[in-house]
Amino acid sequence: MNNEQVRFERLVAGGDALGHLADGRVVFVPGALPGELVDVQITQAKKDFARGTVASIIEPSEHRVAPPCEHVARGCGGCSWQHLDVAQHMEAKVAIVREALRRNGKIETLEVVAGGFVPPTASRTTLRMAVTPDGRLGFRRGGSHDVIDTPTCLVAHPLLNEFIGDVRVTGATEATLRCGVATGEVGIWLHDEDGEDVHGATVTGLPSHVVVGRKEMLHEVVQGVSLQVSMASFFQASQVAAELLVSAVNDAAGDAALSGEYGPIIDAYGGVGLFTATLVDTDIPVVLVESNPSACSDARSNLHDHDVSIEQIAVEQWRVQDAGLVIADPARNGLGAMGVNAIVATEAKRIVLVSCDAVAGARDVRLLLDAGYACEGVTVLDLFPNTPHVEVVSSFSRSQTAK
Ligand SMILES: C[S@@+](CC[C@H](N)C(=O)[O-])C[C@H]1O[C@@H](n2cnc3c(N)ncnc32)[C@H](O)[C@@H]1O
């Protein structure tokens, strides 16, 4: 396909730069930056939009930097914003969230503020890595299924980095690596791309203290609380991220709601019980709704001294009960209409929504507004440094006219 010179306008959800072709169609290009004039090779041309790659940069942005990680030049697509000065990341993420609210949520008026951020290197305590054909660990090439081996990883915690390059895997296509900063515990779990165990998969090259398998349990300390986290359970990407997110949810919920003043608390998509364990006193009634059996098992252990009912079920199928506060922290696809319906049916006075996708989050904000909730604040956290991923914490209060 042909090449065309494009002046880029902004970064969009997913991390690509957006510009316009001479015929008016938008074009999305990874690796370009706002303000830059780029010679773009068009790789996909549709009626309304096109995609392309950077053939050469004619006028670079003042915010373009040499990627700090050596593996980017070899094609590693794990951190797709390493060409953007890290000092610009938060502003870019806030702009992406604002644009998603405007475009996908049809909301112009909400104030979006910047919250906390994770240091750009050496912080990740959970990494999902892919396996090369010769058994090494790495990440996929941007926009491709190919795996680039990465014997080290800029964002990984040192407890993981010390052995990534020595690992050899047979029989599995992916591995989850996790460590506990507070305890020094380290684990690895081999699986396929759907997160399913692979019978007969093996791993060599691990230090003797690294435990292997989906059922292995590590421990992490957040806000002074020790949490059991099995290898197959979801946990925030880093210990610092967990600390920042808990603080943001605390601020968004408010003391009255967290102290049970408005009624019971629903910890929806509650995982291993991070929010309840760190934010809610043990005598306040909580219902934790979580579909993953491993996470529920960890939550039972982590919350054994709490007044909690742990319901292992999808939120959309959960038998709704009245609540004073709902904290909802869904996976990337967000709440959707069914998740919103369940949460709204609790008639909670306050809702805190944690969204890890700007577009799905904007849709969910719209649905909550339409259901009669008022949005009181939107805070963007940067929990995934060097990537375009956002974490958004929004707070809502129920209005008199709520459905
Ligand atoms: C982003 S994680 C948040 C977990 C927890 N709040 C935390 O911060 O550690 C989302 C959680 O929702 C769970 N989950 C995914 N889909 C679900 C659903 N439809 N209903 C209930 N839980 C779900 C996942 O297993 C995961 O534990």
Q: Residue 295: what pLDDT?
A: 98
Q: Output the ligand 1 site: residues, CB below 6 A.
A: 234-236, 269-272, 274-275, 289-292, 295, 314-316, 329-331
**Same structural domain for residues 184 and 101?**
no
Tell me the C-alpha to C-alpha distance, in Å, between residue 79 and each of 31, 46, 72, 138: 11, 27, 8, 12
Domain C-terminal end among 222, 255, 281: 222
Give the pLDDT band of residue 401 (cuts 50, 70, 90). Answer: low
Distance of CA 227 to the CA centre of its chain: 20
Nearest residue by C-alpha to atom 25 in ligand 1: 292
Determine the distance separating the centroid of ligand 1 and the alpha carbon of 198, expressed in angstroms: 23
**Same structural domain for residues 183 and 247?**
no
Residue that has been written with the tokens 């702009």 in this structure: 95
Q: What is residue 315's DSSP assignment? A: G
State the total domains in the chain. Answer: 3
Q: Which two tokens stand for residue 323?
A: 């609540």
Structural domain of residue 186, as residue ranges?
A: 126-222
**Same structural domain for residues 243 and 216?**
no
Would you say residue 306 has pLDDT above 90? yes
Q: Which two tokens stand for residue 143?
A: 């926009």
**What's the average model confidence in pLDDT over 91-120?**
97
**What's the average model confidence in pLDDT over 14-38?**
98
The number of the ligand 1 atom at minimal distance from the alpha carbon of 272 is 9
Q: Residue 402: what pLDDT?
A: 65
314-347 confidence digits (pLDDT tens): 999 999 999 999 999 999 999 999 999 999 999 9
Q: Residue 1: what pLDDT?
A: 72
Determine the distance separating the centroid of ligand 1 and the alpha carbon of 229, expressed in angstroms: 14
**Same structural domain for residues 169 and 48?**
no
**Same structural domain for residues 40 and 140?**
no
Determine the distance separating the centroid of ligand 1 and the alpha carbon of 315, expressed in angstroms: 9
Residue 282: inside a domain, yes or no? Answer: yes
Residue 257: inside a domain, yes or no? Answer: yes
**What's the average model confidence in pLDDT over 351-362?**
98
Between CA 101 and CA 99 the distance in angstroms is 5
- Which ranges in 303-357 belong to alpha helices (H)? 336-345
Q: Buried b vs exposed e over 186-211: b needs ≥16 C-beta within 10 Å?
A: bbbbbbeeeeeeeeebebeebeeebb
Domain C-terminal end among 161, 189, 222: 222
**Contact (Cβ atoms closer than 8 angstroms) between residue 113 and residue 377:** yes
Nearest residue by C-alpha to atom 4 in ligand 1: 271
Q: Which two tokens stand for residue 361?
A: 């989050």
**Same structural domain for residues 130 and 252?**
no
**What is the best residue among 240, 291, 357 to mutate for testing ligand 1's pocket, by most ligand atoms within 8 Å of CB?**
291
Q: Which two tokens stand for residue 403?
A: 């459905």
Domain C-terminal end among 189, 222, 255: 222
Determine the distance separating the centroid of ligand 1 and the alpha carbon of 290, expressed in angstroms: 6
The number of the ligand 1 atom at minimal distance from the alpha carbon of 236 is 9
**Same structural domain for residues 327 and 384?**
yes
169-219 confidence digits (pLDDT tens): 999 999 999 999 999 999 999 999 999 999 999 999 999 999 999 999 999
**What's the average model confidence in pLDDT over 250-267?**
98
Between CA 326 and CA 142 the distance in angstroms is 37
**Same structural domain for residues 340 and 293?**
yes
Q: Residue 184: what pLDDT?
A: 98
